[in-house]
Structure formats: structure tokens, C-alpha cells
Structure 1
Amino acid sequence: MNPDVNSDEILHSIHKEAVDWRAWAGRVLVMVFAALAGLTVVAFTWMTELAFGVFEQMQQNYWWSPLLWTPLCTAAIVWVMRRYAMGSAGSGIPQVMAALDGSVAPADRSLFVSVKLTITKMVLSTWGLLAGLSLGREGPSVQIAAGVMHHARRWLPDKSQVSEHGLMMAGGAAGIAAAFNTPLGGVMFAIEELSRKPEQRSSGLLLAAIVLSGLMAVSIYGNATYFGVIEVQNLSPALLVPGLVVAVLSGLAGGLFARVLLVSIRGDSGDRFSRWRKRSPVAFGAACGLVIAVIGLVSHGDTFGTGYAHSRAMLEGNDDTSPIYVLLKFMATWITAWAGVPGGIFAPALSIGGALGNDVAQFMNYANAPTLIALGMVGFLAAVTQAPLTSFIIVMEMVAGHQLVLSLMATAVVASGVSRLLCVPLYSALAQLQLQRLPKADSA
């Protein structure tokens, strides 16, 4: 083999790559839209925090106001959503997974991911927190960012190597990266939940886009996490039994939550409430809002919203957690999702899991409660989503130091395994429900 020929070929390839302005224009455009997706999620975060702050102020001034305000808003959200944007219902992750399905024609992807759905998702999810509903913004952030990135396809050169699937996958992962201030979590979410083609997993450009979106949030909010930093004291073998208890209980509770949620949303059980939900979704939404308001008042306001503030106070030792908080937050989050409003479950799941870990610490007299709180967070989230690696990374970045890494990983794997005994993967099942919205001719 002639080394001179090889050198010439290499130089020719480098020159060809350097002067291909279409390829570079496509790369720059993808990165611009990635930054825009991250900033959109940051704006969505600001909107939701402002909205829930207004709700909290209203509740403090008029303790009874949720009994009127929450049902009214829930009914209005359901009506607007069903009238103008059915694709914005629920978490948003199933919609992105449905859009990535190979059976979906390009013309039908707007049913699941689009700029219109991005805007309506932002508005209606914010409205949900203004109503005090128990929902998170991380799932919606996935659909919001995916809609922004998907729009980039219109502006890419015709011969661009970036596929429409790749843009949606990167956008969905960018939503997690920006929502949790964790670029690594976004990358893992793309691999664990959204990837459908091997080349998507190894695309340096798309991975860079995910990281850039996460950095947009980090540049504005800093490295601080919304639950605060979990300080872990020196670990000892005494953690083994309480840690195993937390892993198993969070797996059982998370699996039960996913199963109840899936059965409720499917609505094919034939019970009275499912029939009412199909017949009168707006009235059913109002009833759900009333139940959520009652639960919130019983919990002294702890179950309203995402659960961030309650979890942060619990980690700091400044909160006298009710022994029934886990049950109440479980019910409030389930009923919120059952109402059919746009909203996610990531943040409430972390809150429920953290409270479960705290309960185990108190019951077993384990002194280092923050450790079990962290294990409960990762366990319940991994059980609900059956995405143990993503859950592990999200919680790992909340923990100061690396002492708890192996314990978090083990808890996520155990809890996810226990959950699989009770329920199929939640988001995959919900994505199949989304695919039923395809026009009959296309879904045949």
C-alpha cells in the first residue's frame, strides 16, 4: 500500500469536508435550534414557577379557594385541550416515542410533535400548576423541546445527514437535560428511552445538541438542583437492610403507581368512573380537580404542585412530614393524570420516593435520613419509568460526593426489576395508546 496515496486521500477527504458549506450550515442550524430548545425549556420553567407561586399566594390568603379554583381550572384545561390540542395531553414523553415509531408517516408526526403542541403544552401545563394540580414539568419539557428541534428540519439543507428522527430524539433528550440541569441525564434518557436506530446513539452532532440544551439551563440557573444538594454522611454496613427495604418498597409502590395510572388512562376496565370519563371528560376533570383540592387541604398544601419545596424542606430537616404524605401525594398525582390534563410525573415521583425513604428512616430509626431519601427518590422514579440509568443519573447529580453512587445504582436496578413484576413499561404502553390516534388508513 502506497503511503503517499493514503495521505492524498486523507487530505482530499479533509478538504472536501471543510468546503462542504451545506454540511456546516446544517450543523450550525442544529446547534442553534438546540440552544433555542434549551432556552424554551428555561422559559417554561420560569412560567411554571411563577404560576405556582401565584397559586400558593392565593391559597395562603384564602385557604378555601382551591375548592373552587382547582376544579374550575381543571375543567377548563380539559376543555381547551380536547378542543384545540389533544396531542398535548399527559406527560409528553409517550407522544415523542410515538412520533419516533417507524410506522408513523412523516405527515402524521405533527399529531405528536409540533410547534403548535409546544406552545399549547407550555400554556396548559403552566395553567395546571396555576390550578395547584400535582404534576411535573419534566415530561412536558421533553415534548416541548422535541417540537422545537423537529421544526429545524424545515430549514436544513435537502442533503443534510441529520434525520427527522434524530432531531426529535435529540429534542426529547434535550428537554430532560434542560429541565433537570443535567446534560448527562439527557444523553442517557436518549439512549434508554428514545433511541430507535443505532446511528442515533453514536451521532456526535446530536449528542452535542443535547449537551448544549442542558448547558442553556446550567448557564442561567447554575448547577443547583431543584431538590437541593443531598449531604451523605459516612456510610456503613448498617445501610444494607434499610437500603434494601427502600429499594423493594419503592419498586412495589412505583410499579403499583404505574399500573394504576395505565389502567386509568386506558379506561377499558368498564367501571363507572371510566365510563363517566369517556362520556363527560370535562365534568370528570372538574370532579378530579375537586378531589385534588380536598387532598391538598388535608395535607396542609403539601400535595399541591410538583413537590419540589416539600422535598427540599425534608432534605434540610425543616419539614415535619406527615406519615400519610406518600399516600396523599400518590393519590393526587394519579388523579391529576387521570383527569387528562397536560403534565408530567417525574417531579411528583421524586417527591413520593423521597418521602417513602424518609418514612423508612423514621420507622427503622436510621440516623442518616437523607441517604434513604435519596435512595427512595431513585427507586420510585426508576420503578415508575422503568428507566433505571436515567433515574440514577438524575438523582446522582443531587448528591454531594460519590459515596452513594453504587447504592443509588443498585436501588434503581432492584426497584425497576420489582416494578416489572407488576406493570409493563409505562411510557411504551402509553406510546401505543398515542398511536391509536393515527388516521385509520395510516394505522392499518
Structure 2
Amino acid sequence: MKSGIKNYLMNIILPSVVLSALVGALTGGIVFLFRLVSEEVIELSAKIFTFAGTHLWAVPLVVLGAVLIAAIVAFCIHCSPHARGGGIPTAVALMRGLITFRWLRNLIFVFVSALFSYLCGIPLGNDEGPAVQMGAAVGSGTTRLLAKRHQGWERYLMTGGASAGFAAATCAPIAAVMFALEEAHRRITPLLLMSATTSVIAGMGVLSGLCHLTGHLEFTYLFHFAPMPVLPLTRIWAVAPIAILCGVGAYLLAKLTHAVRTVSHKKLKKVHTFFKIAPVFALVALIGCFFYEYHMIGTGHHLIEYLIEHREVWWMALILLFARALMVVLSNEVGATGGLFTPLLVFGALIGSLCGEVMINLGWLAPELFPLMVVVGMAAFFSASVRTPLTAMIFSIEVFGGFDNVLPIFLAIAISYVIVETVGVTSINEIAMEREIHRQHHGKPRKAVDVELTVQPGCFAIGKEPRDILWPAFCHVLSVRKGGAVKDSYEGGAIREKDILRLNFTTLDEAATAAELCAILGDQDVYANAHVTEVQGSAPNKK
């Protein structure tokens, strides 16, 4: 009885409540600081581009400055390769156990590299991607500093930190928890739910407290706009064309991203990172000098608020859509640090704006419904491009105005999601994640292992069902043997001391996988009685 209580406190309450709360609180403080500094950097960037737009002699200096910033970002990426690109795909790969990183180095260089990217006006998200990745780094660091003997907790704490980072950046705590379950792990388990929820509560508490102490109440919400009118049921069909275009747009964006990645891998594989980044940064800076007031560059946050409050002419919305899509894909591919979350919302907002303007001009919709069409576009495009409809639904309720327009928004999310599911396109995050996995594991030999391991006394797995444990990537529990009886791992029943588990897994690093399994099942010689075969082909890229 006492050993059961001790195991419950040590392997459930301590990681999923106590340490998760600590991770969430630290992440909330770091994200607040990051948002505070990033806002100042973005304001400075706006002043620079505005000045250059009215003083042409300053344009060459701005472009030269962008090239120098590219050198700094390239140095950051050299020091921490996972600081490049969108933060969410990298964090998801870390939480799934597909890649590894140095947490402190990653935390520092993501923070620095993102700020320099924003100064240059790169059209990537200014909060959510880096916040999620820094939260994952905080979770990893907490484990390695405070729980060195319990590495089985690391991915749970990284999940909590990433969730807290998402919540602190978007001010959508429930969506942040769903993000951890639906996007990061694609499963719901009690331990994951407890870890994510506790971290989010702690992170949002710290963020809210710091906002009130410093007077920065604008950090307590993502977008600020007036309440929207309710869409009549007789006009609910109006969301269908927006949803269809968002589904098609998400498909085209994924194809464009894949095409650019393929060309970059084949043609620019041996090109130094600086020479990839510098032309893109210089191009963005040049565009910013002449078209900054048209929202051609920048994170897109202000563009969304502008579209909510102002009707944009259709041809300008179309130009913005294509121009920003190309720049976002190029910036992400070459390695500029930032998020993909806000750009996806921008694409949806532009599609919603375009459709709303057309339907209003045709007399099909009242002008006061225009902001709602923008919101419908954001929710639909987010769902289609990331393939997370539940997160999109919850996010739309938390951020876009409550329950008044739930039905049309949910309908648009469902339609756009069905379209991308039908065509079978890979989500934008999965494409970016494959790049990170390929970069770390390309050329490594794969080995398939079939082994039976014994559950050691006091280990992390005791009291949990096999499906509730975050096993190493590509690891499957084939059976659990209890006193001679074999039980399928998904028929229920918790793992107990001295149980024998038959595992099958594919590994690219035998020592690292063995360490993960020992952290879960207790110290033992993993490969003593294992059947190991070498697998032909490239490294796997999906869980």
C-alpha cells in the first residue's frame, strides 16, 4: 500500500502537477519577456521602414542592415540548428521523441534569432512558434536539472512547457491543452492532460500577473476587435465558399512548401546558410521600404486587425495573399526564426476578406457581417492547413468572439477539413517537421529490434497502461505477460512490477533508445536478449 502511494506521488503527482506547474510558471515569465521585447523590436522595424519609404537614400542602408541581420541569424542557426524555421513543428518533433536538442542553447538562440528576424520584417509569426519551442526547452531543462534520474518525465514536461508557451502567446488556454493532445501527441491520456493543464494554468497565471503589474494589459488577448453580429441561419451558406477556398488554399500552400523544400534540398544543399538567408532578408527589406504601409511584410498580426476593421479591395487582398504566401514559404525554408501560426491566420483572413467583399458587392450579405467572414476564413484555413479541427474550434471560441457564431465557424472548419482529408495533403507542420527529422537523422542506419523487458521495482511505468506511456518513437508494445498469461496491451489493466513486456521498435540511436526504455521500465540491459536486424532505406519521418 505504501509503495503504491509512493509510486503515485513520485511518478504521477510530482511530474504532472508539481514540476509541470514550475515549467508553466517559468514559461509564462519567459514568454512575457519575449513578447515585451518583440513588440519593441517590431515597433522599431516599423519606424525604420517608414523612414526609408520617405527617404530613398536610406533604402540601401536598410538592405545592407538586413544582410547583416541575416549573418547574425545564420550564426544563431549554426550554434543551434533547431532554432531555424517554425517553432511549433520543431517542438512537436521533440515532444514525439523524433529529434533531440540542447535545451539551453536552443532557448537562448531561438529568443535572439526570432527578435532579429522580426527586426528585418520577416513575415513569420511573432509569438506563438518561438513561445512553444522555448516552452519545450524549459520543460527539457527542468527535467535535466531537477530530475536527472527520471528522464521518463522529460517529454511530459516538454509537453507542459509547449502548451504553456502556446497559451501565453495566444491567450487561448483551452486551445493550448487541445494543441498538446491533438497536434503534438494525437492521443488523450490522463498524464498528458494533467501535465498540459497544470502548466497552462501556471503559465497563464504568471502572464496575467506580470501584465497587471507592468500595465501591459494588451498581452492578455491576442486580437482586439468589437463584438460581431450573429450570422442569420438563412445566410449560413455564405461560409461554404470561404471554407472551400480555404481548403484549396491549404492544399496549394502545402504543395508550394513541398516544392520549395525539394528545390532547396536538391539545388542548395551545399550552400552555406547565410547565402540562403541573405537574399530573402534583403528582398523582404526592399519590399518593406516601398510597401510597408500595405502590410506586405511583418508578422501579420496588425494586418489581421486591419482586415477585421476595414474592407480591403479584392485585388489588393489577392496581391497580399500571393505575395505573403511566397515570402512565408521562402522565409521558413531558408531558416528564419518565427512561427507559422499567425501567417496561416493571415491567409485565412485574406481569403475571408476577399469572399466577404465579393458577396457584399453582390448584395448577398450585409456589410456589417464582413468581419465575421474574416474570422470564418481564419478558423477554416487554420483547421485545413494544420489538420487540427478540434483545436481550431476551441481556438475560435476563445479568441474570435465566444459562442454567438459557433455554428457558421464550426461548419466552415468542417468543410475545409473534409476537403484536405479528401485530397490527402500533408499538413504544413508535418512538412516542416520532416525537414528537421531529415536534417538530424539523414544517413544514419536504422535497426529493428524485438525484445522482452522486465518492469523493475519503482519504475515510471508501474500503475500505467501501455497506451498511456510516451514510449520512444516507433516503439510498439506487442504484449504484456503476467504470470504466464499474455494480455494484449490495449485490453486494459495497468502495468505492474515484474511484468514482462514484449516490444518492437525501430531505432537510429541504440544507446539513446535504451536510455529512454530504462527511464520508463527501470535499469536493465535492453539488448541482452534482443533480436536486432538492420533495416534498409532512409530514416523514418513520422511517428
TM over 0.5, shorter chain: yes
Match among 241, 253, 259 for residue 245 of structure 1: 241
Q: Contact between 2:132 and 2:164, CA under 8 Å: does it hold in 1?
A: yes
- Counterpart for residue 435 of structure 2: 433
The RMSD of aligned alpha carbons is 3.1
Match among 194, 211, 214 for residue 204 of structure 2: 214
Match among 106, 120, 134 for residue 144 of structure 1: 134
TM-score (norm 1): 0.85
Output the CA distance in 2 between the equivalents of 1:193 and 1:389: 10
Question: Structure 1 regions of 5+ residues with no counterpart?
Answer: 1-8
Q: Contact between 1:35 and 1:212, CA under 8 Å: does it hold in 2?
A: yes
- Counterpart for residue 95 of structure 2: 100
1:292-327 superposed Cα distances (whole Å, 9 cap, x missing partner) = 234433463512211111221221238778332222
Output the CA distance in 2 between the equivalents of 1:182 and 1:229: 16
Give the partner amino acid of 1:407.
P
Following superposition, the deviation at residue 184 of structure 1 comes to 0.5
- Counterpart for residue 80 of structure 1: 75
- Counterpart for residue 282 of structure 1: 274
Q: Contact between 2:12 and 2:191, CA under 8 Å: does it hold in 1?
A: no
Change beyond 3 A, Cα 1:171–1:267: farther
Match among 101, 120, 126 for residue 110 of structure 1: 101
- Counterpart for residue 353 of structure 2: 358
Output the CA distance in 2 between the equivalents of 1:303 and 1:117: 30
- Counterpart for residue 405 of structure 2: 404
Following superposition, the deviation at residue 18 of structure 1 comes to 12
1:137-187 superposed Cα distances (whole Å, 9 cap, x missing partner) = 311211111101111112445676971111111222222111101110110
Following superposition, the deviation at residue 383 of structure 1 comes to 2.1
Following superposition, the deviation at residue 262 of structure 1 comes to 3.0
Question: Structure 2 regions of 5+ residues with no counterpart?
Answer: 212-216, 446-507, 510-538
Q: Which has the larger radius of gyration?
A: 2
Q: Contact between 1:184 and 1:211, CA under 8 Å: does it hold in 2?
A: no
Higher relative contact order by CA 8 Å / sep ≥ 6: 1 or 2?
1
- Counterpart for residue 168 of structure 1: 158
1:110 is paired with a residue whose SS is: coil
TM-score (norm 2): 0.70
Q: Which piece of structure 1 moves more, 365-374 or 226-235?
A: 226-235
- Counterpart for residue 393 of structure 1: 394
- Counterpart for residue 314 of structure 1: 307
1:231-263 superposed Cα distances (whole Å, 9 cap, x missing partner) = 221321353332101001111112211221233
Is the strand fraction higher in 1 or 2?
2
- Counterpart for residue 256 of structure 1: 252
Change beyond 3 A, Cα 1:402–1:32: same
Following superposition, the deviation at residue 224 of structure 1 comes to 4.6
Q: Contact between 2:98 and 2:437, CA under 8 Å: does it hold in 1?
A: no
2:165 is paired with a residue whose SS is: helix
Following superposition, the deviation at residue 379 of structure 1 comes to 1.4
- Counterpart for residue 342 of structure 1: 337
Give the partner amino acid of 2:246.
S
Q: Which piece of structure 1 moves more, 378-387 or 138-147?
A: 378-387
Change beyond 3 A, Cα 1:91–1:162: same
Q: Contact between 1:95 and 1:431, CA under 8 Å: does it hold in 2?
A: yes
Output the CA distance in 2 between the equivalents of 1:126 and 1:232: 34
Q: Which piece of structure 1 moves more, 427-436 or 187-196?
A: 427-436
Following superposition, the deviation at residue 280 of structure 1 comes to 4.3
Match among 215, 221, 225 for residue 225 of structure 1: 221
Output the CA distance in 1 between the equivalents of 2:348 and 2:296: 13
Output the CA distance in 1 between the equivalents of 2:417 and 2:11: 44
Output the CA distance in 2 between the equivalents of 1:276 and 1:434: 16
Output the CA distance in 1 between the equivalents of 2:234 and 2:12: 57
Is the helix fraction higher in 1 or 2?
1
- Counterpart for residue 479 of structure 2: none
Change beyond 3 A, Cα 1:353–1:435: same
Following superposition, the deviation at residue 355 of structure 1 comes to 2.0
Change beyond 3 A, Cα 1:380–1:69: farther
Output the CA distance in 1 between the equivalents of 2:69 and 2:18: 41
Output the CA distance in 1 between the equivalents of 2:437 and 2:7: 42
Change beyond 3 A, Cα 1:58–1:71: closer
- Counterpart for residue 121 of structure 1: 110
Output the CA distance in 2 between the equivalents of 1:392 and 1:303: 28
Following superposition, the deviation at residue 352 of structure 1 comes to 2.2
Q: Contact between 1:357 and 1:372, CA under 8 Å: does it hold in 2?
A: yes
Output the CA distance in 1 between the equivalents of 2:133 and 2:388: 18
Following superposition, the deviation at residue 381 of structure 1 comes to 1.7
Change beyond 3 A, Cα 1:42–1:318: farther
Following superposition, the deviation at residue 405 of structure 1 comes to 1.2
Give the partner amino acid of 1:285.
I
Q: Which piece of structure 1 moves more, 228-237 or 312-321?
A: 312-321
Output the CA distance in 2 between the equivalents of 1:400 and 1:20: 40
Change beyond 3 A, Cα 1:356–1:29: same
1:213-237 superposed Cα distances (whole Å, 9 cap, x missing partner) = 2333344246853321352213213
Q: Contact between 1:229 and 1:398, CA under 8 Å: does it hold in 2?
A: no
Match among 300, 304, 311 for residue 297 of structure 2: 304
Output the CA distance in 2 between the equivalents of 1:262 and 1:230: 38
Q: Contact between 2:90 and 2:433, CA under 8 Å: does it hold in 1?
A: yes
Change beyond 3 A, Cα 1:437–1:164: same
Output the CA distance in 1 between the equivalents of 2:262 and 2:153: 32
Q: Contact between 1:92 and 1:140, CA under 8 Å: does it hold in 2?
A: yes
Q: Contact between 2:239 and 2:411, CA under 8 Å: does it hold in 1?
A: no
2:230 is paired with a residue whose SS is: coil
Q: Contact between 2:311 and 2:353, CA under 8 Å: does it hold in 1?
A: no
Q: Contact between 1:73 and 1:128, CA under 8 Å: does it hold in 2?
A: no
1:196-207 aligned within 5 A: 199=189, 203-207=193-197
Following superposition, the deviation at residue 35 of structure 1 comes to 0.3
Match among 423, 426, 444 for residue 425 of structure 2: 423
- Counterpart for residue 380 of structure 1: 381
The percent identity for this pair of structures is 22
